[in-house]
Amino acid sequence: MSTTEDQHKLQTAYALHQKGDLREAAKLYRELVKRNPNNFHALHFLGLVEAGAGNIEQAKPLMARSLFIQPPNVQFVENYATLLYRAGDYDAALEICRKGLQLANSSASLLYIYAVSLFRLDKLPDSLAQFDKLLRLQPKHAAALNERGSVLARMSQYDAALASVAKALDIDPKYADAHLNMGNLYSLLKRYDEALAAYDKALTHNPALANARLGRGNVFRALKRYDEAFAAYGKALALDPALASAWLGRGNAFRELNRLEEALASYDRALALDARYAEACGDKGMALLELGRFKEASDAMEKAIDLAPKRVHFYLSLGLSKRLTRDDPHLRAMQELAQDMSSLAVDEQIELNFALGKALADIGDREHSFARLLDGAALKRGQMNYDEAAILGVLERTRSAFAGEMMRSHSGQGDPSDVPVFILGMPRSGTTLVEQILASHPKVFGAGEIPDFHHAVAGFGGAVTEALHSPEAAARISREQWRELGASYVGRIKAMAPAAERITNKVPENFRFVGLIHLALPKARIIHTRRDPVDTCLSCFSTLFAEDLPYTYDLAELGRYYRAYEALMAHWRDALPQDAMLEVRYEEVVDDLEGQARRILAYCGLEWDARCLDFHQTARSVRTASVAQVRQPIYQGSVGRWRAYESFLGPLLAELGPDAASAGAEPM
C-alpha cells in the first residue's frame, strides 16, 4: 500500500472517528498500525478510540508510542496527559506535562493538567503556583479559577476559595461545576442553606450532574436529615452507578446511625468501584474500630495511608486503633510530614500534631509529645469562637435558676417513665466505661452520645427551648410542658430499642441540663462519673474531639471550666433528692469493678448479671474517644497518668488550685 493510500485510509478512519463510528475507525487504525508500526497518527488516534471505549490500559501504550516516533506533537502530548490524568495516574501525567511544557510553556491545557495533577497528589502550594501561572496567561480561564478554589479550600483559605470560584461564575454564570464547587465550599463552612441553593443551581444548568445530588446528600447527612440524605444518594447513583463517593456517603450515614454492618457493606461497594479510594478505606477502618475489630481496622487505615500518604487524618485514625512503636514506619512518615508543616493546611497541621502527640506518648517521649499537643491545641483554639465569660456565666446562672424552691415547686410534673438513664460528667471522665458496663446487661440498650434530649428541648419552642441558653426561662415552664417534654424524649429513645427496659444516653455535657432532665423525667436515672480532676483535664487536652469543645484546647481555660463544672455538680447534689443521682468514681471502678458494677445496676433497678464484668467483649458500636479503651479489660494505666506530665501542666494546675490532685477523691 502506498503512502498516498495510507493517507487516504487515515483520513477515512478519522472521519469515521469524528462521526462516532468508533468500531470501523478502530479497524482502519489497526490496519494502518499493522502495516506501519511507526504510523504515529494511527497509533495516537487508535489510543483515543480505545480510551473512548474505556480501555484505558490499551490506550496508554499506543499514545505513548506515538509521542516518541518523531518530535512530539503538542496536541498529542496534551491528549496523552489528559488520558493519564483521567485514569488517575497523576505522577505519569505530571511527567508528560513537564516534557510538553518544554515544547510549549504557555500551553493552557498542559498547565491546567499539571496543576490539577499536583492537587490530586496533595502538593497544594505547587498546585496553587501552577494555577496562578496559568491565570496570568489566561485570566478568564474559568476551569482554572474553579479548581484553584478547591486547592485554597484544602489549604483552609476559605475566603480566597470562595472568591476564586465566584470569579469563575462571573465569567460563566451557567458553569454547573463551579456552582457545584461553591456548594461544596458552603458545606465545608457549614453554611448549609447556601450549599443547597448552590447545588440546586448546578442541577438547573446540568440536571445529570450526579455530584450535585451527592452534595445534597452530604448536607442532609450533616443536618441529621437521614431520609433525605439516602434519597439524594440514591438519585446520585441513578445518574452515575459508578459514583463511589455516593456509596461512601451512604456508608457514613449508616455509620452515624450506628448501622455499622450496612455501613461496611456500603464502603465495600465504594471500594469495589475504586480499589484505590483512600477515604473509603479510612472510613471503613473507623467503622471496624467502632465494632472493636482492631486488627481489621488498623489494616484498613494502613491501606488508606499507603494510598494517600500525605492525608494526615488517616494517621490520626491509625493512632486510635493501635499503639505505635519507635521503629514504626508510620511514625517516621508523620515526622517527615512535620518537617514541612507550612505546606499543610491548618486543619492538617492540627491533626498531625495530635497524631504525633499520641504516637510520641506511646513510645514514652513525653516532652516532645506534649510539645506537639500544645502546638495542635493552640492552632485548634485559634479556629474557634469561645466566649468564656458567657459560657461560665450560663453555668453560674443555672445554679441560681434551678435553686431549691424552683426545683421543689416543679417536682414530679414530668413524664413518669423509668426507661431513661443519663450518664454525664466531664469528657474523658469514664462515661463510656460506665455505659459499656450497663450496655452489657441484656435489659439495657446503650445508645451512646445521642443528641435526643437536646433536640427534644430545642424543638419544643417557647420557654422550654429558651431554657437551653437562658436557664431562668425554666421557671415559666408549665406542668403540661414538663410532661410533654419528658414524653417527647422517651418516644425518641424507645424508637431505637422498643423492648429495652433501660436506654442510656451518655452525652457528657448533659451535666449542664440536670435540672431540666430531672424535672422532665423525675424517674430517670442520672449517673455522674468523676475522675481525678488533673487526669480528666490532661485526657481532654490530649484529645482532638469531633465535637466543638473549645475550652479543652487551652490549659488555663480548661482549668476554669472544670471549676465551673464542679460548682454546678455540687449544686445538683444539693438541689436534687438524695436518690436522684448516683456518683461513680472512675478510680473506684478500676479498683473494684464488680462492686461498682453491682452498685450501678442496683441503682438502675436491674438484677445482677455477670456479663457486665466482661464489658470489653460486648458487641456494640462505640463512637467516642474512648473507643479503644472500652474494648480492653480494666487496667490501672490511666490512674494518676498526669503526674508524669506535671512539669508541663502549670497553667492548668494554677487554675484548678493546690488541692487539684486530691479533688477527685470526695465530692467537692
User: Is the same domain home to 353 and 474?
Assistant: no
Q: What is the pTM of this model?
A: 0.80
User: Is the same domain home to 359 and 422?
Assistant: no
CB distance 225 to 194 below 8 Å: no
Range of the domain at 473: 391-662
Residue 453 lies in a domain: yes
Residue 151 lies in a domain: no
H helices of 53-139, in order, are 56-67, 74-86, 90-103, 108-120, 124-137
Q: What CATH number is given to the structural domain containing 436?
A: 3.40.50.300
Q: Which of 585, 572, 597, 574 is nearest to 536 (CA)?
A: 585
Give the chain's domain count.
2
User: Is the same domain home to 367 and 408?
Assistant: no
| CB-facing half-sphere around the CA of 562: CA atoms within 13 A | 34
Residue 298 lies in a domain: no
* C-alpha cell read off for 46: 487508535
Residue 493 lies in a domain: yes
User: Is the same domain home to 571 and 625?
Assistant: yes
* C-alpha cell read off for 609: 448479671
* C-alpha cell read off for 615: 464489658
Distance, in Å, from the CA atom of 185 to the CA atom of 189, rounded to the nearest integer, reads: 6
Residue 643 lies in a domain: yes
In the prediction, which pLDDT does 630 show? 45
Sheet containing 525-530: which strands, arranged edge to edge? Answer: 444-446, 502-505, 420-424, 525-530, 581-585
User: Is the same domain home to 368 and 410?
Assistant: no
CA-based torsion, 167, 168, 172, 177: positive or negative: negative
Residue 578 lies in a domain: yes
CB distance 407 to 580 below 8 Å: no
Distance, in Å, from the CA atom of 300 to the CA atom of 268, rounded to the nearest integer, reads: 11
Mark which of 362, 383, 404 sits at the end of a domain: 383
DSSP reduced 3-state for 276: coil
User: Is the same domain home to 362 and 436?
Assistant: no
User: Is the same domain home to 368 and 421?
Assistant: no
User: Is the same domain home to 359 and 432?
Assistant: no
User: Is the same domain home to 414 and 517?
Assistant: yes
Distance, in Å, from the CA atom of 157 to the CA atom of 98, rounded to the nearest integer, reads: 28
Residue 460 lies in a domain: yes
User: For residue range 384-435, what is the model confidence (pLDDT) as tens digits?
Assistant: 999 999 999 999 999 999 998 899 899 889 999 999 999 999 999 999 999 9
Tell me which residues of the chain have a pLDDT lower than 50: 1, 620, 626, 628, 630-631, 663-668
User: Is the same domain home to 466 and 345?
Assistant: no
In the prediction, which pLDDT does 666 show? 43
Mark which of 383, 403, 420 sits at the end of a domain: 383
CB distance 251 to 267 below 8 Å: yes
Please, is 175 exposed, middle or buried when counting C-beta atoms within 10 Å of its C-beta (0-12, 13-18, 19+)? buried
DSSP state of 212: H
CB distance 563 to 537 below 8 Å: no
Q: Give residue 545's region: left, alpha or beta (phi > 0; psi -120 to 50).
A: beta
User: Is the same domain home to 349 and 490?
Assistant: no
Distance, in Å, from the CA atom of 509 to the CA atom of 468, rounded to the nearest integer, reads: 12
CB distance 148 to 171 below 8 Å: no
Residue 581 β-bridge partners? 526
Q: Which amino acid is present at 556?
A: A
Q: Which residues contact 558 (CB under 8 A, 6 or more apart)?
A: 537, 540, 541, 551, 552, 652, 655
User: Is the same domain home to 590 and 499?
Assistant: yes
CB distance 283 to 251 below 8 Å: yes
* C-alpha cell read off for 602: 442496683
Mark which of 346, 366, 383 sits at the end of a domain: 383
Per DSSP, the residues of 567-634 read: HHHHHHHHHS-TTSEEEEEHHHHHH-HHHHHHHHHHHTT----GGGGGGGG------STTTTGGGS--
Residue 623 lies in a domain: yes
